Structure 1
Amino acid sequence: MRIANENVSLQADFLRVLPDYTLADNVGSAYSVHRYIVDAHLGGPEGLAKARHMLTQRGLRLILDFVPNHVAPDHPWAFERPEYFVQGTHEDLAQASNAFFEVSGTVIAHGRDPYFPPWPDVAQLNAFSPGLRRAVGETLNLVVEQCDGIRCDMAMLLLNHIFEHTWNGRVGEHPPEEYWREVISAVRLQHPNALFLAEVYWDLEWELLQLGFDYCYDKRLYERLEHDSAESIRLHLTAGLDYQDKLV
């Protein structure tokens, strides 16, 4: 929220799309999620159901966003289920207050990826926690009842080898099963037609497709269109259609 209110470039983009935009219209960060319930500012669950119905009448399906790597620092789990989070010590907090915060006596890590500093507006979930995986499956089953599919933010961060690398020494060895295979399977037991779309970078698209995702971002094509030659784009598009058909 602070970034959106202070970044001049973002402000210009907001005003270009929404000429009557004001700072009061920014009610929070889309990536610092307190609960997966539509806020009353946006019409609540009833408003979402109405919007979905209108989309269906037009032959369109509704995809909702899910942020698997982290939640808001005031998410109920931070108070009720601290074992769902990557934790630190009070010494960690004293030495790196930008990377940790305290909730009811428990020191919790701020969210991050392997290459950038911590994000101060979010709390890092522990993808290796069996309890968290079950809770995420339950949460997504509730979300998918309100839509036709889920777009998963930065999905590659939850891959066992990526998560272990990011949090080396704090989360132990990875479990035998991949996070996404476990979570997606739990959802499809109740909603077999639920569609899963992964935001993914670092050439990990194929790996996520093997874990149950229906589609992945084609980040490499985007980068080639922006920076590379026409020949590199042509070669990119010669990949097998069985793979390309899964990229968006």
Structure 2
Amino acid sequence: MKKISIFFLGLLALTSCKNDPDNAAGEIAVEQEQKIEPVSDDVLASAVIYEANIRQYSPEGTFDAFTEDIPQLKDLGVKVIWLMPIYPISETKRKATGDLSIEDIEDPEEREKYLGSYYAISDYTDVNPNFGTKEDLDELVETAHENGMYVILDWVANHTGWDHQWLKDHPEFYTQNEKGEPVDPLNPATGESWGWTDVADLNYDNKELWKEMTEDMKYWIAEHDIDGFRADVAGEVPTEFWDQAVVEVKKIKPVFMLAESEDKDLFHNSFDMGYNWEGHHLMNEMAQGKVTVKAWDDYMKKIDTTYQQDDYLMNFVTNHDENSWNGTVTERMGDASEAMVALTYTIPGMPLIYSGQEYDMDKRLKFFEKDTIPKAKGKMWPVLEKLGELKNSNPALHGAKEAAPHNRIQTSNDAKVLAFERAANGDKVVYVANMSDKPVEFTMEVTGNFTPYIGKKDFELTENGNYKFGPWEYVVLVNN
């Protein structure tokens, strides 16, 4: 409808110009659609990112079904939507179950239920017909923009599916064995297959590949107003490729780049944010009693010395890999889950919500078959809503290029109690948690006038600074 309206506005403007003797040049003034402001560090500083698994988000598994829910994501503080790969999936060597591909499944009806890996792409410039059309995707992007959210695509530059046209037209784009045959990705340390047998490894020694891959990335920015990319296994692709590709893409408009990596070298030119993999694994280990808070403290000190001041990471308790292969949040973190979620919002960086997390999802989503997330709001929705509001609005939790500092608060039991403060422009946020499965009593000094924002409901600052927390109990305080 909007395109039709603009067409008629153009006709009216043209008629007006013909009747206007002062418009000698015949200029046409056409009212333009209002766009979302360009993505920027200021916007990203207070952002929450949402990973959308289109296939599993709804029973329909379509763009349209997800688009319907975009407005309510604002309630969770979401400012960036990351779409898992939306492209057609290769049929050849398509993953089925275990080590089997669909070629190993004899029953035709059984074969049909295996939809393959999102990351085995047959065409970088088309959409999976199961999800809908490009017009449906455009509607998704437009709806996101109208609601103040940016949309980034999952970009899989390391490999393609076995049906990709390049395998016929440009076999030189692929890593080949001694027989000249394309191979699936190999572990550089051992030379053995990673087991990703449904994809063919791309060879970035070939500079013509760089050109073709970059053009495919530019297509989505120029033709579908996409706002950036999440780069799958970014560290397996030469940093020099990303550097030149991002320069070319940014000639069209500013973009946001997320690397599935914590390699600090990727942040120099190409990427805005990386994965906080090490922090995530430490959260799992703390929740499972395998490490104490000291390990976390050591990690935060390491972060300060390893990364540049303007580097930042994505914090998460789950994502598509973790959920499907390593277990649900409850499986991995148990009763510590909510304290860990709150931690991802209060440390420097950007918190992630994965499809279903907001609905207390407690199952592993199938990866190669159709599945569906729950859609009933329970305990987690209001928690994420409140944390998202704090992240969006409180400068003390800003976490992008100019992150508010993170200062450890010493307690009498630092092996079990994690406490820290972040502050900016007079605003302060304090996080305190018992990171153990036993009750703890401890002392700490927090000066100032603070109010509990979320977590332990009966928390009060005392003059003697003595506190009792139950197992995995936490509180987030804000200054008045």
| Structures share fold, TM-score greater than 0.5 | yes
Indicate how the Cα distance of structure 1 residues 111 and 67 shifts in structure 2: closer, same or farther if over 3 A, else same.
same
1:231 aligns with 2:231: no
Q: 2:118 aligns with which of 30, 47, 58?
A: 30
Q: Which residue of 2 aligns with 1:121?
A: 198
1:49 aligns with 2:138: yes
Q: What displacement does 1:245 show?
A: 5.5
1:151 aligns with 2:221: no
| One-letter amino acid of the structure 2 residue matched with residue 117 of structure 1 | S
Contact 1:215 1:246 in 2 (8 A): yes
The SS at the match of 2:116 is coil
- For residues 1-248 of structure 1, the aligned pairs below 5 Å read 5-7=96-98, 24=112, 26-36=114-124, 37-90=126-179, 107-114=181-188, 117-118=193-194, 119-145=196-222, 146=224, 147-159=226-238, 178-191=240-253, 193-200=254-261, 204=263, 206-227=264-285, 228-238=291-301, 239-240=303-304, 243=309, 246-248=312-314
1:81-126 deviations in Å (ceiling 9; x for gaps): 1121112233xxxxxxxxxxxxxxx521212343662421111111
Instruction: Provide the TM-score with structure 2 as the length reference.
Output: 0.38
Structure of greater Rg = 2
- State the distance in 1 between where 2:187 and 2:144 align: 35
Contact 1:65 1:152 in 2 (8 A): yes
The SS at the match of 2:270 is coil
Q: What displacement does 1:196 show?
A: 0.9
- State the distance in 2 between where 1:61 and 1:207 align: 25
Gaps of 5+ in 2: 1-90, 99-109, 286-290, 315-480
The SS at the match of 1:62 is strand
Contact 2:185 2:201 in 1 (8 A): yes
Q: What displacement does 1:154 show?
A: 0.5
The SS at the match of 1:211 is coil
Instruction: Provide the TM-score with structure 1 as the length reference.
Output: 0.71
Indicate how the Cα distance of structure 1 residues 226 and 244 shifts in structure 2: closer, same or farther if over 3 A, else same.
farther
Gaps of 5+ in 1: 8-21, 91-105, 161-177
| One-letter amino acid of the structure 2 residue matched with residue 187 of structure 1 | V
- State the distance in 1 between where 2:159 and 2:119 align: 8
Contact 2:267 2:311 in 1 (8 A): no
- State the distance in 2 between where 1:27 and 1:113 align: 26
| One-letter amino acid of the structure 2 residue matched with residue 109 of structure 1 | V
The SS at the match of 2:130 is helix
Indicate how the Cα distance of structure 1 residues 4 and 140 shifts in structure 2: closer, same or farther if over 3 A, else same.
same
Q: What displacement does 1:24 show?
A: 5.0
Indicate how the Cα distance of structure 1 residues 88 and 247 shifts in structure 2: closer, same or farther if over 3 A, else same.
same
- State the distance in 1 between where 2:95 and 2:171 align: 29
Quote the RMSD (CA, aligned, Å): 2.6
Q: What displacement does 1:194 show?
A: 1.3
Indicate how the Cα distance of structure 1 residues 38 and 51 shifts in structure 2: closer, same or farther if over 3 A, else same.
same
Contact 2:184 2:193 in 1 (8 A): no
1:24-43 deviations in Å (ceiling 9; x for gaps): 56533211100121122111
1:165-208 deviations in Å (ceiling 9; x for gaps): xxxxxxxxxxxxx22212222222233x11110001xx52x111
Higher strand share: 2
Q: What displacement does 1:4 show?
A: 6.4
Q: What displacement does 1:138 show?
A: 0.4
How many residues of Structure 1 are paired with residues of Structure 2 in the alignment?
198
